[in-house]
Amino acid sequence: MTKFFAYFNAESSARTELLVRLICLLFAFDVWANPLARAGRYGHGNFNVAHFQVFDFLYPMASPRIYVVALLLASFAAVAVAALGPTRWNVPVLAASWGYAWSSAYIDGFQHHYFLALVFICFLGVPRRDSPRVAWGYPLMCATIANMYFWAAVAKTDPTWVDGSRLATIVGKRRTPIEEFFGAISLSADWAWSAISVSTIGVELVVCAAYLIAPWASKRWHRALLWVGLVLALSLHVGAEFIGLDIKWFSHYMLILAVFCLTPGGAFRGWFGRVEPRIKTWSARLAFNPDYKPPGPAWLWALGSGLAVLGYMIPADLPGTWDVAAILVFVLLVATFLGFARTRTLAAAMALGAAAFSFTIDVSESRYDYWRFIGASSSRSARVQPDRAREIEHLEIAIDAYEHAHRHTPRKSREDTIIRLQRRLEAAKK
């Protein structure tokens, strides 16, 4: 048993902190671009089922506002981790708020959301500057990733996967050019799809083994396994992106994890050693040097950041952004009042995070989708309501949502939809 737990006592290196920061940065943008758009379905019709029954008793009834608040708290905690590194407060806030957001509704069926919930729990055990000896998080994360690859390989022993038919179906539009390529190199399409499918099982098992060995790779064969695992993991996830699988940003996470966990130590140090001297910018010193104090009093930084947070978040036109803006301003005030050593870095991170949030919900169209999805589901609900008052209520919600969507529309006007719904509303009121 002692030997088993010794696995989780691996010495952690600077790469763990870099990895944690990078994953958190990606996660923040992911939240703003993807899950936020689906917040409108939470608590619809005053109905919800959590992933685990016990949470139905513990959690309040889901609502778009509560879900957005949880998502934004998680994303801003992630921004804080990316800027300050893991601390005793930012990682728990991240793990708890994302854990809640994911587990609060059964309809969040994205496997990488569950995966991230597990990874953030592992982040609780990565070394912190105030507690550098805590080191179980990195090996536990590697074991978690290995477990995922193992079960993914087991799942692919399904006959529909082994015979290649499933893979041929999920590549969609790219099937024809790929099969033309098989023909050009004299391979039967059925055989080639099956061969690729079966080889994926082997690839996933090798990557699983590489992740298991990653925290303790010291021998020559360990390093060889890591290199093989790295190449296979990269090819697997780049391949998934190439064939256009609808898995949102899952591949991005897995590529970052593979590069940081599976690159053997010496090669990683060599690469980082070449890059590090070039990172001497003001922002890098602010993020990586805890002793660096930029000019100006901390309260001025907090004040400027608070104003930026309010300025970017209040006009965001999403439920819950006011609440999160207020929480962030409160946190900045508390940090200033208590004399938190890195208030300036935190302030800069929150202001930049708020600006990035505002930019991302616009560019990714997640805010537009949020309102458009509510409009579509309410309009559909209105059609089947036997009760006139309820039909009117749903139509009013749909019109309001489409009016919001229209304000943020990236291309297609929603005016026609709004006019059509208004006609339906007038007819319902007669």
Partner 1 sequence: MKVSTQLFIGVFLAFQLILPLRFYVIDNLDERFAWRMFINPHHKTCTPQVTVTAHGQEHHVDPVEILHPAWISNIQENRPEIIEPYLVRLCDEPGVDSVVLVNNCTPIGQPTDTSVYSHDCSEP
Residue 213 · residue 225 · CB < 8 Å: yes
| Nearer residue to partner 1 within complex by CB, 338 or 389 | 389
| Between 141 and 331, CB nearer to partner 1 | 141
* Beta carbon of residue 317, minimum distance to partner 1 (angstroms, whole number): 21
Least spacing, CB of residue 29 vs partner 1, in Å: 22
Angle at which helices 321-337 and 64-84 pack, to 10 degrees? 40
Q: Which two tokens stand for residue 283?
A: 């922002």
What would the DSSP string read from start to end of 255-313? Answer: HHHHHHHHS-HHHHHHHHHHHGGG--SHHHHHHH-TT---SS-HHHHHHHHHHHHHHHH
Residue 238 or 419 having the CB closest to partner 1 = 238
DSSP 8-state class, residue 85: -
Q: Count the neighbouring beta carbons within 10 Å of the beta carbon of residue 67.
A: 25
| Residue 358 vs 381, nearer CB to partner 1 | 381
Closest approach of partner 1 to the CB of residue 108, in Å: 9
Residue closer to partner 1, measured from CB, 166 or 175: 166
Determine phi and psi for 309, rounding to 5 degrees.
Answer: -60, -45
What are the residues binding partner 1 (CB under 8 A)? Answer: 5, 8-9, 38, 41, 44-47, 49, 51, 53, 56, 106-107, 109, 111, 114, 118, 121, 125, 136, 140, 143-144, 147-148, 151-152, 154-156, 158, 160-161, 166-167, 170, 245, 247, 377, 380-381, 383-386, 390
- Contact between 303 and 348 under an 8 Å Cβ cutoff? The reply is no
Smallest distance, partner 1 to C-beta of residue 44, A: 4
Phi, psi of 131 (to 5 degrees): -150, 65
Q: Closest separation between CB of residue 4 and partner 1, Å? A: 9
Least separation in angstroms between residue 114's CB and partner 1 is: 7
**Tokens 């100006």, residue?**
296
Helix (H) or strand (E) holding 26, with range, is helix 14-33
Considering beta carbons, is residue 291 or 387 the nearer one to partner 1? Answer: 387
